[in-house]
Structure 1
Amino acid sequence: MTRPLHHKLATMLGVVYPELDAPALAARLLETMGLADDAAAPPAHQNNWDESDVMLITYADTVQSAGEKPLKTLLRFLDDCLSDTVSVVHLLPFFPYSSDDGFSVMDYLAVNESHGDWEDVEAIARRYKVMSDLVINHMSARSRWFENFKKRIDPGKDYFFEARPGDDLSAVVRPRTSPLLNAVQTEDGERYVWCTFSEDQVDLNFANPEVLNEFVGIIRYYLERGITYFRMDAVAFLWKEVGTPSIHLQQTHELIKILRLLIEHHTPECVVITETNVPNRENLTYLGNANEAHVIYNFSLPPLLINTLVTGNCRHLKTWLMSMPPAQMGTTYLNFIASHDGVGLRPTDGLLDEDEKQRLINTMESFGGKVSYRRTPDGKDQPYEMNIALFDALKGTAEKGADHWQMQRFICAHTVMLALEGIPAFYIHSLLGTENDYDRMENTGRFRSINRAQCQIDRLETQLADPQNHHHRVFNELKRLIAIRRRQPAFHPNATQFTLHLGLQLFGFWRQSMRRDQSIFCIHNITSETQEVSLAEINLIGTDHWQDLISGMAVNDLSGSITLKPYQSVWLSNRD
């Protein structure tokens, strides 16, 4: 009897666990996932998205109302304000946690009682596609598994990665400055556990196949509650080996393939997204051969786009865009310019030189931002990310400081993001135009809290209803642009994209629908000065009728030019 899924899974497992009985382990994982070992494969290179897909990134408790669980308030806000705007909701970790605003999970199978319950999550999943974090690299030091690790009992006894102070850890790559190893007193003596991120976030040991089986069960539980997008948090660090950098190891890539294989056989429309905040070339490897992540974050976009808009020079952004390979069918990019984390600087390695990075850092600090650091293998501390609300990050330029173009610059950034190849993702505080939250940062003592404000729904609704309020203007203009984007086949995440060469003050690219029945020339003035665009230079086809989708302006004289005000964008399309 042919069992293609079982055979394929066993082959993958043999790479990760060469000393184990891979066919037996494969059979066990299939049972845990509830799959027959001859289950049919989903269609190859299937795009589980189109131009109408737009993601919202939010914490479960960002929007609050007195006397109501935040997940219920969030659904009400989504239905009242965003039902025609977003299709995917990334619910940042909504589990019981002990630190890091949810990313130190105590129980993967429970919903934080202060947020709501599984029925609330399922209610959102019935109306929107929901992305959940799979916090797969580490777990809370206050979890039951870790308590069992200290007691030396199962489940948990061998679930966490250990090393010794005398081991050669000099090559390990980390995003933090805290100690890598943490001494823990257990029932059989002192042990040293590996903590990539913090003492409270203890790395799991995937060399133990029991840990893999546990996560397969966790994934199935999420699938059965309607979750269809899985964000694999910090997955680049998943497999550790003493004497290596312990990042991007081959076993990590194989484990992603294994989990994707199981997920898509269970629910073919599911999407796996890897979160790897690393230099661009390293990040691209997580697409594999269309057999690892369906989607990867475009981590270089936020710092490069911010740098472009505060310097008025698109050279580095254009160079990066030209270097990006078109995603294979069945894969794409997640475009974002703000999130719950800071603006990563490692993704600019090889794209900005050190002086340019420092100038960008200095500019963000002058606009009220902070800088977080990481420790390199040689023991030095280097800037890792800039912590700032995007609205404040774009309040001025590097040369002249704050100015009166903040709103236009902010909208321009999102107009670029909306048009690029990939799925656009809006952090809720960018959609609302939220400023730096200094009070929250001081209360928590963490720089990242500067961009993690919490909103009372009554006050938010008042702000969004007031035409004089910048929150109202940001929210409504971004919604208008999103509505335009969602109607354009040329903005399909996998539609053709080519970079235009219009000098350093105009950033442009061309998109063409997969049926070749629509072209859109996306041109953005990234400066505080008026710019002229020669239409002859972009070679619009004379037999087509062209108009700007954003303003509705018809383009009649194809041999002439158009004038772009500071930070103005046009989407010139041959269909409306």
Structure 2
Amino acid sequence: MLTTEQVTQLRRAFDDDREAETFLLRLERYGPELQASLQAVYGERAGPLLQRLLEIMLHAFHTRPADLKRLDEARLLSPDWLQSPRMLGYVAYADRFAGTLRGVQEHVDYLEGLGVTYLHLMPLLRPRDGENDGGYAVADYRSVRPDLGSMDDLSALARDLRGRGISLVLDLVLNHVAREHDWAARARAGEARYRDYFHIFPDRSGPDAYEATLPEVFPDFAPGNFTFDEAAGGWVWTTFNTYQWDLNWGNPEVLAEFVDIILTLANRGVEVFRLDAIAFIWKRLGTSSQNEPEVHHLTRALRAAARIVAPAVAFKAEAIVAPGDLIHYLGTGTHHGRVSDMAYHNSLMVQLWSSLASRDTRLMAEALRAFAPKPTNTTWGMYVRCHDDIGWAIGDEDAARVGLSGPGHRHFLSDFYSGTFPGSFARGLVFQHNPATGDRRISGSAASLAGLEAALEDGDEVQIDLAVGRLLLLHAVVLGFGGVPLLYMGDELALLNDPNYADTPEHAADNRWVHRPRMDWALAREVAEHPETPAGRVNAGLRHLIAVRRSLPHLHASIESVAAPCPDPRVLLLRRDHPQGTLLEVYNFSEERVALPAYVLRGHLGEHAADALSGSAFALSRPTVTLDPYRALWLTAAEVSA
């Protein structure tokens, strides 16, 4: 990659021979990946760009704190740290969790007690004032929202978390910046260098040509993908909102800016970057401008640069795309295992809610079988709910293979989870109804969608029991799938929809805030004293699932969960073949008691099995195994002494 003379020059940048050797060894390992991706995207501009990136990386390496350099070495010795069954994620807005970053620091004991090893604090870098897409309209990547604290507070929190074995995760918005960001302000002021950071068109001819194949992300309140900006004197590409300006990643200066941003934040203690809206960053006429090949080269380049300076850092792709597109964010072909370290398994989340409503797991099993195997050095982020709405990403082909209409099933799910389908237990809200396509996404907390809100309103103890069972079943699948389970703040307390979300003016137009309530610390204290309450039962059940998960090597994320055939559509079987033996997960997605033929389980485990969740033994030589409503089993083969 470098000539002998260039290596000699690099060595002169170090006072310590050992430090120089560390940097050069990493450059030798990851430099070719960086160089190849730069060449693929930027062609003849790749050489000067690489020299600029080397300067940025050298500066970041020299200024990286000693304790983070130690973490780098530890992670190089345990490259599978994100894949361990001990990993447990927690996702929260800092202000809604504890007010400020110092407030979060005061509640680290709570997170540690829950078993959290990965804390994702939702957007906290300084956004534009007023409406800001929940913080995703970033005005400054190098400062924190003033109401949350300072960058020094962020570093202090990261250091405290790191001492407890908890990795700090932050959002890095790659596709766009706020209109008020310095780059955009300078572009509006006419600086040619910064105008080239964006896609600005003098008239509608360019935008109209692109619009012919571009979808709309927020058709209700942000129709179209371009906004006329008077100060800029042209039409600006704005995929998400008028105040979010899409960046021009065809300009190598943009890549250099983000390498510097990533390494600066990494030196503040950020260990995982959630690459927001990663699918959208490369634009190509005549396409949807999503999932283009350059996206994966650019991500690989960013990852390689981070590996050279801060190998403790990992990337998580926020790519809510079809399964056939999703696998590329973990790497295929020459990118295999070299793009992001982790990606959201959005399909699993959608299929969980689909199976819960239909009491039929055949579509889920079919959809999971359609996934290509991921690279063994990568992992999934799985979740029951997140901060976002639920878009019914049900593939028409998957649906057809089990005798369903894709559009019809999506319509059913929207009706069911908005509570309009007869007999629905759910209390959700329709988000972003698109009359042209019929799509209706859904907002709502896990507990409200699973029926707890309606059951509590009715005072129906039977339905309360079933709602608790549904919530624990969903979390059992997520915790048993293999990857990093992500708990959304308050789900461990079965928090319901926030009926007052619209009282905050900037939230009123976005009903996703209904499932972003403030943390109920009084309830968090009460659940331990009152385990018989619905919240107490969910909390205790979840803590038990987490503890069992930590004890099972079978849940290492290098192993795939494979959907196994099951004669009863109400029951999902997931098989995991680990070197220490097979783990068979059994899930009843109905409120009915199911008599499952024992031969189905015997074919995987033999005559005797043990359930890690209950400690029960099962003799699989008998005709049937009875599964109570919403029962979950994590079964391994058991030896029986003579």
TM-score by length of structure 1 reads 0.90
Aligned counterpart, 2:88: 54
Q: Is the 8 A contact 1:422 1:492 kept in 2?
A: yes
227 and 505 in structure 1: CA distance in 2 versus 1, 3 angstrom threshold: same
Equivalents in 2 of 1:475, 1:84: separation in Å?
10
Aligned counterpart, 2:102: 72
Equivalents in 1 of 2:586, 2:521: separation in Å?
36
Match of 2:227 among 156, 160, 182: 182
Equivalents in 2 of 1:541, 1:106: separation in Å?
54
1:364 aligns with 2:442: no
SS at match of 2:587: strand
Deviation at 1:342, TM superposition (A): 0.9
1:469 aligns with 2:533: yes
Deviation at 1:51, TM superposition (A): 1.0
Task: Determine which structure has the larger helix proportion and give its number.
Answer: 2
SS at match of 2:127: coil
Q: Is the 8 A contact 1:388 1:450 kept in 2?
A: yes
1:342 aligns with 2:386: no
5+ residue gaps, structure 1: none
Q: Which amino acid aligns with 2:96?
A: T
Aligned counterpart, 2:484: 423
Match of 2:215 among 156, 159, 173: 173
525 and 246 in structure 1: CA distance in 2 versus 1, 3 angstrom threshold: same
Identify which range, 217-226 or 147-156, moves more after superposition.
147-156
Percent identity between the two aligned chains: 24
Aligned counterpart, 1:245: 288
Match of 2:151 among 108, 118, 127: 118
TM alignment of 1:508-527, pairs within 5 A:
508-513=573-578, 516-527=579-590
Match of 2:467 among 406, 423, 431: 406
SS at match of 1:524: strand
Match of 1:504 among 569, 582, 588: 569
Deviation at 1:34, TM superposition (A): 2.4
Q: Which amino acid aligns with 1:254?
A: H
Equivalents in 2 of 1:79, 1:36: separation in Å?
32
Identify which range, 316-325 or 382-391, moves more after superposition.
382-391
Q: Is the 8 A contact 1:481 1:550 kept in 2?
A: yes
Q: Is the 8 A contact 2:414 2:441 kept in 1?
A: no
1:26 aligns with 2:50: yes
Size of the alignment, in residue pairs? Answer: 560
374 and 278 in structure 1: CA distance in 2 versus 1, 3 angstrom threshold: farther
5+ residue gaps, structure 2: 8-26, 62-71, 400-405, 420-425, 453-457
Match of 2:126 among 71, 75, 96: 96
SS at match of 1:18: helix
1:199 aligns with 2:242: yes
Deviation at 1:348, TM superposition (A): 4.3
SS at match of 2:283: coil
Deviation at 1:458, TM superposition (A): 4.0
SS at match of 2:43: coil
Q: Is the 8 A contact 2:87 2:118 kept in 1?
A: yes
438 and 81 in structure 1: CA distance in 2 versus 1, 3 angstrom threshold: same
Match of 1:13 among 10, 33, 38: 38
Aligned counterpart, 1:224: 267
TM alignment of 1:307-456, pairs within 5 A:
307-346=354-393, 348=395, 350-352=397-399, 353-366=406-419, 367-373=426-432, 380-383=436-439, 385-395=441-451, 403-404=463-464, 405-441=466-502, 443=504, 444-445=507-508, 446-456=510-520
556 and 276 in structure 1: CA distance in 2 versus 1, 3 angstrom threshold: same
Deviation at 1:256, TM superposition (A): 0.7
SS at match of 1:63: helix
Aligned counterpart, 2:546: 482
Q: How big is each residue's C-alpha offset from its partner over 1:149-198, in whole Å with a ceiling of 9 and x where there is no partner? A: 21123874432222341220211134221231111122xx6211111100
Q: CA RMSD in A?
A: 2.9
Match of 2:313 among 267, 270, 277: 270
159 and 541 in structure 1: CA distance in 2 versus 1, 3 angstrom threshold: closer
Aligned counterpart, 2:251: 208
384 and 34 in structure 1: CA distance in 2 versus 1, 3 angstrom threshold: farther
TM-score by length of structure 2 reads 0.81
Equivalents in 2 of 1:365, 1:392: separation in Å?
10
